[in-house]
Structure 1
């Protein structure tokens, strides 16, 4: 995700509520990325209470669902693959029920069981390599959300080597949940930015609509367009930052579980504006995998969503995307 909220960022230590003019700014690191919340609270006590609850919830969410935490629920489920059922509380049952909807909405492109493929296409190692076809075929055989068995209060991965990774929608879900925490605290004006997955409500501290910059995939770090929003989510999917090269070919970090290979099409980035950050993120990633023309149709057909797909040779926009462009 490559969105930038265009305001000056302070240098104060992460994890503190920092006064910023008429608004507050909370910064911390979680889920492998920098997180920032800008908000205007009705009073100091409300702002402090919101900040504490938001940080506490994010920390608990990561501790429970990150596959990188050896003691997390997800890690315990993965370790028990092919052997044992693992108990779920009501919160986890709701999240995995959401995963059912994610899988259907994205046509199986965002598959929470894609971990075997993510492991063999590990671009984060010091010397990434292209796995051979046999390894890819073996990993693909262990991928398939429809194979996961769930009963009331428990879950089971039926084959050793299967594994869950909720990175396809977990961060976006967290952004929306923090927006709901803000609403419960009576905070009407808020921007939540977790690694450039964004959700906004209300207005910025100066009364203007929130301004969000779309990064130029051809020139990372520069703004391609500016978007205005006062409610909903904005997310971008692209692989022009995270990739590796081997044998003269470029391999991005977004894997298509249907083929077992990184996406290789004309798309450079997809930005979606939707009613929630979760919807925006799911549509952006799915459209990126589908490619320009089919991806644009997917976004166009989704109620309440607009998008822009930047390809190597052209650009696709849905009919109403222009309404968000400054």
Structure 2
């Protein structure tokens, strides 16, 4: 059985060499933008977190951001005793649990996402992911009978929220798992904290959930962000796109998987079947304004497949996506067709019919 952990950077960030001079924004509260960023790297959220701020003397901003990430990790952890999510799961079928307002906010957002995706995104997937435990030392392939018994406990509609009391109740047998949304929520929270300190130019990377602030100090096109090669786990890319003040989130079969009897089982589960999604996608990268939306869409699009996924993205404003199929074909939404630069000869652009 093989275990692969998400690498240092699952999205390769190609930040072009910056100009030697400083750049000052006109806003009286804005900070000078500098050549070399202040960078902090920490092992958090079961991955590697890297924060880069292109202003001087931002130690306090870094400390505040790291403290916030650690605090949110404690609130949202499934396995940490005393965390909000662990308390909710332990109290399943017994009582409603009062939670931190931020925990309530993220669960409320998750429910809205579940409604919008018709249940393709569902944080009550924990009943099944706890059987597989992909990414854990205890990862295994559960029996078909185990999976069938768990499926009735996956239903976002059974999560009961009391907005006034800030309480959460789930039915007996249910388990919440926020791994598909928590990093997006936290990345957006870091950005809010940076903005309060008048930071305009930064890159927030939570293990592949990349959130850029402002634009590259050298290139007016923006930050040059690579689209992850789904067959590699070390930041290799198939192409790149310039973005400004944008979130870039990738989901792929390369991230975490186990292997048994020559067959690989990746970590993206279908809440309707209890098994890893089996379709034509090997990876999808989503470009949105918020990392929270990127998290939700990257999972939902994986479940929809390329044809229906492109149809959904092309119907949305301010959202783009790149799909990579299992034959090394690259499919992009309409807004990226002239913006995606192919950088890997093993892959080819596909023109949709």
TM-score, reference length from structure 1: 0.89
User: Matched residues in 1 for 2:137 and 2:72: separation?
Assistant: 29
Match of 1:16 in 2: none
* Aligned residue pair count: 312
- Runs of 4 or more, structure 1, over 6 Å off, are none
1:35 aligns with 2:49: yes
Contact 1:293 1:316 in 2 (8 A): no
Match of 2:349 in 1: none
CA distance change for structure 1 residues 129 and 37 in 2, over 3 Å: closer, same or farther? Answer: closer
Could you tell me which of 334, 344, 352 is aligned with 1:319?
Answer: 334
Please say which of residues 118-127 and 210-219 is displaced more in the overlay: 118-127
Contact 1:3 1:215 in 2 (8 A): yes
Could you tell me which of 123, 134, 157 is aligned with 2:170?
Answer: 157
1:287 aligns with 2:298: no
Match of 2:178 in 1: 166
Secondary structure of the corresponding residue to residue 25 of structure 1: strand
Could you tell me which of 214, 223, 240 is aligned with 1:226?
Answer: 240
Please say which of residues 281-290 and 174-183 is displaced more in the overlay: 281-290
User: Matched residues in 2 for 1:287 and 1:109: separation?
Assistant: 9
Contact 1:254 1:262 in 2 (8 A): yes
Match of 1:67 in 2: 78
Contact 2:14 2:225 in 1 (8 A): yes
Contact 1:229 1:324 in 2 (8 A): no
RMSD, aligned CA = 2.1
Match of 2:215 in 1: 203
Render the CA deviation track for 1:205-243: whole Å, top value 9, x for unaligned: 545521211122234432211221111100111112421
Q: After the TM superposition, which residues 1-326 of structure 1 pair with which residues of structure 2 at under 5 Å, given as runs?
A: 2-6=10-14, 21-41=35-55, 43-44=56-57, 47-126=58-137, 128-151=139-162, 152-153=164-165, 154-159=167-172, 161-206=173-218, 209-221=222-234, 222-313=236-327, 314-326=329-341
User: Matched residues in 2 for 1:324 and 1:279: separation?
Assistant: 21
Contact 2:75 2:103 in 1 (8 A): no
Secondary structure of the corresponding residue to residue 114 of structure 1: helix
Secondary structure of the corresponding residue to residue 309 of structure 1: strand
For structure 1, the 5+ residue unaligned runs are 9-19
C-alpha displacement at 1:106, in angstroms? 2.8
For structure 2, the 5+ residue unaligned runs are 1-5, 17-33, 342-353
Please say which of residues 238-247 and 194-203 is displaced more in the overlay: 238-247
Contact 2:106 2:185 in 1 (8 A): no
Determine which structure has greater relative contact order: mean sequence separation of CA pairs < 8 Å that are 6+ residues apart, divided by chain length: 2
Secondary structure of the corresponding residue to residue 61 of structure 1: helix
